[in-house]
Structure 1
Amino acid sequence: MKEGLSQAAVQDLLQDPKGFMWIATRDGLNRYDGQSFITYYARQGDSTSLNNNQVWGLTLDSQGNLWVSTDFGMGRYDYQQDQFHQHIPIPSAPYHRWNNLLSLYALRNDDLLVGTRDGVLYFDQETEEFRYDLFPELRDLQTYSFLETDSALFIGTNYGLFVYDLDYEYQQTFDELPLEVEIDRQLTIHALYQDSQGRIWIGTARGLHQYLPAEKRLVPYLNKNVPDVWNEIHDILEDEQGQLWLANNVLQRFKDSVFLEPFVHDPADAKSLSGDLSYDLGFSQDGVLWVGTNGYGLNVFNPNRYPFHLLQFQPDRDFSLNHAYVGNFFETPEGWILVGTAQGLDVVDFEHQQVIHSQPLYYPGSQKRVRINFFKSGSQAGVYWVGTNMGLLLYDLNTRQLSLPPFSMTIGGVNSMVWINSEEAILGSPSGLYRYHSATGAVYAYPIDPDDPTTMNYNVVTNLTQIGQEVWVGTTHGLCVLDLASGKFRPYSQNPTDGHSLPNDYVKNVFEDRDGTIWVTTWGGGFARYRPDTDDFLVYNTAAGLPNNVVYGIMQDEAGYLWMSTNAGLSRFDPDEESFFNFSEADGLQSDEFNTGAYLKASDGTFYFGGINGVNWFRPEEIEIKTNAPPTLITEFHLTNQPGGSTAAGILPASVLEKDTLVLDYDQNDFRVRVAALDFLSEEPNAIRYRLLPYESEWRNPGPHSSLNYTSRAPSTN
């Protein structure tokens, strides 16, 4: 994340009790609400501004006060006034090393420890005074980290680790305790952390250490299989699973004494770590991990993101598609997935993340590349029927060869195929609908007669689905249902004046769920539930919650939900509640745009969806829907185009964050409100709704816009 951040070197970060993320940089302090940044700077001669633009550290005391250390003292942020209360150790000597505050730590009694370039200061919140004499042995040392436990105070410096007792009730002395283990005084201590089991972890310039005071030993953990720079531990955090996250220039997890696969910068992957100089870590309340880097901005990573696995075209990797565009899937008896791409064919073992085989496909006897529309099983093991833009072919997985079927046909490209018995198939083509006998090669073309409604209504066939003794035929000009016994058709088409007609004539897919309900997806009209009792359709589109009205594939999971691929991501539909939950590229999808025919429910229940930038595969039961609404705050109130607090009447506070009620004069009736939903899980803005009582009885839905405008409101006493 670089957009809006004041500077790319992140030196500390945290989330305050209101939900805002605060990011300290070398050029200003940033507050982020999930949508936009506000940056605080020092202003010369203004004691209510930030002390200095070089911001080193952040901490919160037990009252929720935010404290900020800089190159010239520290400040406490005042939410009520949206300003700072400055505290400077030696105000008369601007360049004194005690004024360079590298780190801050709030003790349990709410007083502060202040790490400087010349030792440690103690700040008494009640008297607002600094003590300079409590840690004489730390003079001339730079202090980077603190940790208060039930029994001791740990301080990390550029000259090793120091431990003190906690008898500071009257702030008289901190007695240094002897370390029972030897620590190299030349070892810089960057990070100190106590995990949920009470274990003390030390991040140093030469690896991770665990301090075991009861056993009087220090256990080093050095990752010997990585560059030395990866053993420089700048920050440590624990997640809900009990694993440690380490900012060690890259980003690495540590669990059960084992260093797990690191997250590193990959120039070919825009979603990788922005740079291999990670310095600071922080978890927000929603479980999002924030990674600050030294010069590469801020990274936001959700360890609990939806488990959408991804396979893309990444030619520098072994596990890669041969092309980004994916058009179809087929599962072999071995459990492999045949993936048709714009380049040809990939045979993929997704379970072991291995590409078994990859090849371009050419029409037999030529150098003309074919585009695969579908695969179907054949009568011979390992040999598959393949519908292509150049006709129906056979593919032998054993020899990896395409061949012509025993009997030639002249119907052109084949878009879809269903076997109606062991020897006969219905073929859908851009040139019409055909009945094909594989043993004899006989082909029968179903006629199109505009004067006979029991014939086909159009010749461009997009999709075929057999349901009982009927074949539902999707075309670009409506839907036809073929009765196999009589050879007659039942047509359906869109009627703009009938809300229960087919929603669009361009039919993409027909699907029968486990309850026997038939669903029809379309290009541009959303999808529809077929109602046999009334022989019409119940339509669902963007007005009902669908993300986009182009719906490609539809599949049902074991819980009964329907999953659909669209031109705006995936959508999970609950048929009982008639409710949607939508997923976008920000949730881990290959892109928001998926493709015709690129969907498969494998025999083990795994779902595969393909699009313009690869494949997503996942188990639907592992997708836990997050429905909790994020905290929502009014962050700005502008009256007659002036920010709150700057009006002539002076009736508004400088910040609305601390106010439950605002009272306006009768003639102050033009105003604008900005609302922030503090959501860091999604890159997409949250939709909000609002109303102004007593003027509005209905909720207004402005979509993702966060500014609410009212003009010329009449006075009200309600």
Structure 2
Amino acid sequence: MKNKRNALLCMVILLAGFIYFPVQAQQKQTKSGDSSAGPNRIARNIIQDKKGNIWIAAFDGVFRYDGKSFTNITSTVSSVTFFSVLEDRKGNLWFGSIGSGVFLYDGRTFKNFTTREGLSGNGVTCIYEDKTGNVWFGTDGGASCYNGKFFRNYTMKEGLTNNSILAIIEDKVGKFWFGTSGDVCIYDGKRIRVFTHKGKHFNVRSIIEDKQSNIWLGCVDGLWRYNGSTFTNVTRNFVGYIYEDKKGNIWTSSESVNNRDWASSSYDKKVLSGLTGEKDLWVLSRYDKKSLSNKRPAVTEIKPEKGMICGVLEANDGSIWFGASDGVYRYDGNTINSFNHKEGQK
């Protein structure tokens, strides 16, 4: 089952060591292509930069939306599948790909970092900046921490139970949480330990820490909340992404709560159904802040009927953007607008 899940996520488990690597990355200057519409394939991750531009990492490129039109920033750089995007505190953009490592974009030129420069793996599924400004990469070969000069890699040799890293966060006390295809691991700066609950292991796709210091785990078998002492299993359906909005509501991309009768053992079948666009399988769920402490928080489901749902973003204007299997969508609280090439901008 684990091998099937990893195959669906284009993950290849590799072994890498705990090594320092000086970086001399390839640099390239390029022009980009403008378009009135956004990506047309799977949109995995969405962010908004300091200037208000929205960036989308998709299978057909990294797109920037300035409020009027889309620009495929990577159209002449690489045709690889892009999976993750981050703006660091210096204003640089990082684009994670599947198979070609990570690209650093300063607004004019690109630098490409791969295993040749010391990255732990060339499949980069998540990117995170810690409190000190180091940039972390979750890859198919472990976790890599980049300090601007060197990569420091964390793998199974250092205590991870799986080198396939799907989520990374630093909590308020400075501990790092790694979500892998098999376990959640915590690094306290000295050692890595496996995080379990009464013997339960968490197969994680997303991790966040909310404003109240609760840790949320989006897992193959549901959504879990940990307040430092107790666990609450909010839903037992697959949860792929977690996001906290400005009001403290929790958003997830997940299966509909109406599908709870599906056992976790049928995960592969469900994901394949979502990828082919089966309606009422994937939903955008909003858990109300006022009820988050309840065992079953109040939830509102938005059903775009577009198959798989990926990353979620609350834009500066309060609208909710989310990635889907056929591009990117915006939800204004009443309607869902499409920005893909097939349907155009609605």
TM over 0.5, yes or no?
Answer: yes
> Who is 1:154 aligned against?
177
Q: Distance in 1 between matches of 2:37 and 2:223?
A: 34
1:184 Cα offset (Å): 3.3
Q: Distance in 2 between matches of 1:15 and 1:159?
A: 31
Q: Residue type matched to 1:181 in 2?
A: H
Identify if the C-alpha distance between structure 1 residues 254 and 75 changes in structure 2 by more than 3 Å, giving closer, same or farther: same
- Residues 1:141 and 2:138 aligned together: no
> Who is 2:151 aligned against?
130
Q: Distance in 2 between matches of 1:242 and 1:279?
A: 20
> Who is 1:87 aligned against?
113
Deviations 1:157-212 (A, max 9, x none): 101211111x4xxxxxx422464734633x42011111121211111111110113
> Who is 2:105 aligned against?
77
> Who is 1:181 aligned against?
197
Q: Distance in 2 between matches of 1:91 and 1:149?
A: 28
> Who is 2:341 aligned against?
none
Deviations 1:240-272 (A, max 9, x none): 3332111112111113132423111xxxxxxxx
- Identify the match of residue 54 of structure 2 among 11, 21, 24: 21
Normalised by the length of structure 1, the TM-score is 0.35
Normalised by the length of structure 2, the TM-score is 0.70
Q: Distance in 1 between matches of 2:239 and 2:194?
A: 24
Q: Distance in 2 between matches of 1:134 and 1:14?
A: 28
Q: Residue type matched to 1:74 in 2?
A: V
Maintained 8 Å contact 1:252/1:259:
no
Q: Residue type matched to 2:177 in 1?
A: F
1:114 Cα offset (Å): 1.1
Structure 2: gaps (5+ residues)? 1-34, 255-281, 338-344
Identify if the C-alpha distance between structure 1 residues 104 and 241 changes in structure 2 by more than 3 Å, giving closer, same or farther: closer
> Who is 1:68 aligned against?
95
Identify if the C-alpha distance between structure 1 residues 183 and 161 changes in structure 2 by more than 3 Å, giving closer, same or farther: farther
Maintained 8 Å contact 2:172/2:213:
no
Identify if the C-alpha distance between structure 1 residues 183 and 211 changes in structure 2 by more than 3 Å, giving closer, same or farther: farther
Deviations 1:483-533 (A, max 9, x none): xxxxxxxxxxxxxxxxxxxxxxxxxxxxxxxxxxxxxxxxxxxxxxxxxxx
1:91 Cα offset (Å): 5.7
Q: Residue type matched to 2:318 in 1?
A: G
Structure 1: gaps (5+ residues)? 44-48, 168-173, 224-230, 265-272, 306-584, 588-682, 685-718
Identify if the C-alpha distance between structure 1 residues 28 and 36 changes in structure 2 by more than 3 Å, giving closer, same or farther: same
Maintained 8 Å contact 1:145/1:190:
yes
Identify if the C-alpha distance between structure 1 residues 180 and 103 changes in structure 2 by more than 3 Å, giving closer, same or farther: closer
> Who is 1:199 aligned against?
214
Residue 132 of structure 1 aligns to a residue whose secondary structure is: strand
Q: Distance in 2 between matches of 1:132 and 1:240?
A: 33
Maintained 8 Å contact 2:225/2:231:
yes
Residue 121 of structure 2 aligns to a residue whose secondary structure is: helix
1:53 Cα offset (Å): 2.5
Identify if the C-alpha distance between structure 1 residues 116 and 139 changes in structure 2 by more than 3 Å, giving closer, same or farther: farther
Q: Distance in 1 between matches of 2:331 and 2:88?
A: 26
> Who is 2:223 aligned against?
208
Maintained 8 Å contact 1:90/1:98:
no
Greater percentage in helix: 2
Task: Provide the identity percentage.
Answer: 22
Residue 90 of structure 1 aligns to a residue whose secondary structure is: helix
RMSD in angstroms over aligned alpha carbons? 2.8
Q: Distance in 1 between matches of 2:249 and 2:87?
A: 24
Q: Distance in 2 between matches of 1:586 and 1:297?
A: 13
> Who is 1:262 aligned against?
301
- Identify the match of residue 251 of structure 1 among 242, 264, 284: 284
Q: Distance in 1 between matches of 2:86 and 2:336?
A: 30
1:315-334 alignment runs, 5 A limit:
none
Deviations 1:47-83 (A, max 9, x none): xx35x5211111122223211111211122112x2x3
Q: Residue type matched to 2:234 in 1?
A: Y
Deviations 1:611-633 (A, max 9, x none): xxxxxxxxxxxxxxxxxxxxxxx
> Who is 1:299 aligned against?
329
> Who is 1:111 aligned against?
134
> Who is 1:401 aligned against?
none
Identify if the C-alpha distance between structure 1 residues 586 and 258 changes in structure 2 by more than 3 Å, giving closer, same or farther: closer
Residue 159 of structure 2 aligns to a residue whose secondary structure is: helix
1:277-296 alignment runs, 5 A limit:
277-293=308-324, 295-296=325-326
1:521-600 alignment runs, 5 A limit:
none
Maintained 8 Å contact 1:145/1:192:
yes
Identify if the C-alpha distance between structure 1 residues 115 and 211 changes in structure 2 by more than 3 Å, giving closer, same or farther: same
> Who is 1:690 aligned against?
none
Q: Distance in 2 between matches of 1:586 and 1:236?
A: 19
Identify if the C-alpha distance between structure 1 residues 180 and 26 changes in structure 2 by more than 3 Å, giving closer, same or farther: closer
1:141 Cα offset (Å): 2.5
> Who is 1:238 aligned against?
244
Q: Distance in 2 between matches of 1:190 and 1:236?
A: 9
Q: Which has the larger radius of gyration?
A: 1
Q: Residue type matched to 1:276 in 2?
A: G
Identify if the C-alpha distance between structure 1 residues 262 and 33 changes in structure 2 by more than 3 Å, giving closer, same or farther: same
1:238 Cα offset (Å): 2.0
Identify if the C-alpha distance between structure 1 residues 32 and 160 changes in structure 2 by more than 3 Å, giving closer, same or farther: same
Q: Distance in 2 between matches of 1:586 and 1:212?
A: 33
1:297 Cα offset (Å): 1.7
Q: Distance in 2 between matches of 1:197 and 1:237?
A: 14
Maintained 8 Å contact 2:329/2:336:
no
Residue 116 of structure 2 aligns to a residue whose secondary structure is: coil
- The count of aligned residue pairs is 269
Q: Distance in 2 between matches of 1:97 and 1:179?
A: 22
Maintained 8 Å contact 2:330/2:336:
no
Deviations 1:420-465 (A, max 9, x none): xxxxxxxxxxxxxxxxxxxxxxxxxxxxxxxxxxxxxxxxxxxxxx
> Who is 1:9 aligned against?
42
1:42 Cα offset (Å): 5.9
Identify if the C-alpha distance between structure 1 residues 42 and 300 changes in structure 2 by more than 3 Å, giving closer, same or farther: closer
Q: Distance in 1 between matches of 2:195 and 2:101?
A: 32
Q: Residue type matched to 1:116 in 2?
A: T
Q: Distance in 1 between matches of 2:154 and 2:120?
A: 15
1:89 Cα offset (Å): 2.5
Maintained 8 Å contact 1:147/1:192:
yes
Q: Distance in 2 between matches of 1:37 and 1:103?
A: 23
1:232 Cα offset (Å): 1.2
Q: Distance in 2 between matches of 1:161 and 1:586?
A: 34
